[in-house]
Amino acid sequence: MARTPAGSPPHPKGAERFHEERATYVVKSAQPDLEAGVKAIRHTVKTLKPHPGVYRMCDARGDVLYVGKARALKNRVANYTQVERLPLRLQRMVAQTRSMEIVTTNSEAEALLLEAQLIKRYRPAFNVLLRDDKSFPFILLRADNDFPRIMKHRGARKAKGNYYGPFASAGSVNTTINALQKLFLLRSCSDSYFERRDRPCLLYQIKRCSAPCVGRIDKDGYAELVRQAKDFLGGKSTSVQQEIEVQMREASEALDFESAAMLRDRLRAATFIQGSQAINASGVGDADIFALATKGGQIGIQAFFVRGGQNWGHRAFFPTHTEGVEAEAVLSGVLAQFYEEVPPPRLVLVDRELPDAALLSEALAEIGGHKVEISVPQRGDRRRLVEQARRNAAEALDRRLAESGTKAKIMRELAEFLELSEPPQRIEIYDNSHIQGTKAVGAMVVAGPEGFVKNQYRKFNIKSAQTNDDFGMMREVMTRRFSRALEEDPDRKGGMWPDLVLIDGGKGQMSSVRDTLEELGIEDVPLIAIAKGPHHGREGREVFHFPDGREKTLPVNSPLLFYLQTLRDEVHRFAIGAHRAKRSRAISASPLDEIPGIGPARKRALLLHFGTAGKVRAASLDDLQRAPGVSKAVAQTIYDFYHPGG
Residue 350 banded pLDDT, cuts 50, 70, 90: very high
**Average pLDDT, integer, range 484-513:** 87
Per-residue model confidence (pLDDT) at position 280? 57
Question: What is the domain-level CATH number for residue 45?
Answer: 3.40.1440.10
Question: Mean pLDDT throughout 339-358?
Answer: 90
Q: Identify the weakest region by mean pLDDT among 256-265, 272-281, 347-356, 377-386.
A: 272-281
Whether 111 shows a pLDDT value over 60: the answer reads yes
- Asked if 115 and 164 sit in the same domain, the reply is no
Domain assignment present for residue 364? The answer is yes
Find the CATH number of the domain harbouring 602.
1.10.150.20
CA distance 444 to 432: 9
27 and 142 co-located in one domain: no
Q: Higher-confidence residue: 252 or 213?
A: 213
- CA–CA separation, 561 vs 567, rounded Å? 10
Per-residue pLDDT at 126: 92
- pLDDT for position 329: 92
The continuous run of DSSP H or E covering 361 comes out as helix 357-368
Establish if 417 belongs to a structural domain. no
Are 617 and 480 contained in the same domain?
no
Cite the beta strand spans of 62-133 per DSSP E: 64-70, 99-104
Closest to 516 measured CA to CA, from 477, 569, 470 = 477
Backbone angles phi, psi at 214, to 5 degrees: -120, 20
Between 595 and 56, the more confident residue is 56
Closest to 304 in 3D by CA, of 169, 193, 427: 169
What is residue 376's predicted lDDT score, i.e. its pLDDT? 94
Same structural domain for residues 463 and 365? no
Cβ neighbour number for residue 633 with a 10 Å cutoff: 9
What pLDDT is attached to residue 131? 65
131: in domain? no
What number is the average pLDDT over the span 468-474?
80
| Strand ranges of the sheet holding 138-142, from the earlier edge strand across to the other edge | 150-153, 138-142, 161-164
Domain assignment present for residue 445? The answer is: yes
Q: What is the predicted pLDDT for the residue at 387?
A: 93
Q: Reduced to 3 states, what is the DSSP secondary structure of residue 161?
A: strand
One domain for residues 565 and 598: no
Neighbours of 427 (CB within 10 A): 24
507 pLDDT higher than 80: yes
Q: Specify whether 447 is located in the same domain as 479.
A: yes
Do residue 117 and residue 144 come from a single domain? Answer: no
Higher-confidence residue of 133 and 175: namely 175
Q: Give tens-digit pLDDT for 474-486.
A: 888 899 999 988 8
Q: Beginning with the edge strand found earlier in the chain, give each strand of the sheet holding 99-104 in spatial order.
A: 19-22, 99-104, 53-58, 64-70
Contact 200, 226 (CB under 8 A): no
Range of 565's domain? 427-586
Structural domain includes residue 420:
no
Is residue 19 scored above 60 in pLDDT?
Answer: no
In a domain, 12, yes or no: no
Q: Mean of the pLDDT values across residues 142-162?
A: 86
Higher pLDDT pick, 326 / 409:
326
Q: In the structure, what pLDDT confidence band is assigned to residue 537 with cuts at 50, 70 and 90? A: very low
Q: In sequence order, what E strands does 160-297 have? A: 161-164, 287-295
Nearest to 431 by CA among 419, 443, 422, 440: 443
**Residues above pLDDT 90, as percent of the chain:** 29
pLDDT value at 225 more than 50: yes
Mean pLDDT of 253-271: 73
pLDDT at 466: 56
CATH number at residue 344: 3.30.420.10
**Residue 182 belongs to some domain of the structure:** yes
Q: Is pLDDT at 273 greater than 90 in this prediction?
A: no
The yes-or-no verdict on residue 330 having pLDDT over 80 is: yes
Tell me, yes or no, whether 112 and 142 share the same domain: no
Written as one letter, the residue type at 110 is E
Reply yes or no on whether the pLDDT at 488 is more than 90. Answer: no
Q: Is residue 578 domain-shared with residue 438, that is, in the same domain?
A: yes
- How much is the CA Rg of the chain, to the nearest whole Å? 32
- Residue 376 and residue 314 share a domain: yes
Predicted confidence (pLDDT) per residue in 163-172, tens digit: 887 887 777 7
Query: Is pLDDT at 21 greater than 60 in this prediction?
Result: no
In whole numbers, what is the pLDDT of the chain averaged over residues?
82
CATH number for the domain that contains residue 504 = 3.30.420.340
| Residue predicted with more confidence, 74 or 238 | 74
Q: State whether 330 and 254 are in the same domain.
A: no
One domain for residues 473 and 335: no
Q: Say how many domains are in the chain.
A: 5
- Tell me if residue 359 falls in helix, strand or coil: helix
* Predicted pLDDT of residue 592: 65
Residue pLDDT, tens place only, 567-588: 998 988 888 876 676 555 544 4
Give pLDDT, residue 103: 93
Q: How far is residue 366 CA from its own chain's centroid?
A: 29
- Give residue 141's Cα distance to chain centre: 19
The least confident of 458-462, 491-495, 518-522, 555-559 is: 491-495
pLDDT band at 15 (very low <50, low <70, confident <90, very high): very low
Q: What CA–CA distance (Å, rounded) separates 568 from 318?
A: 30
Whether residue 39 is contained in a domain is answered as yes
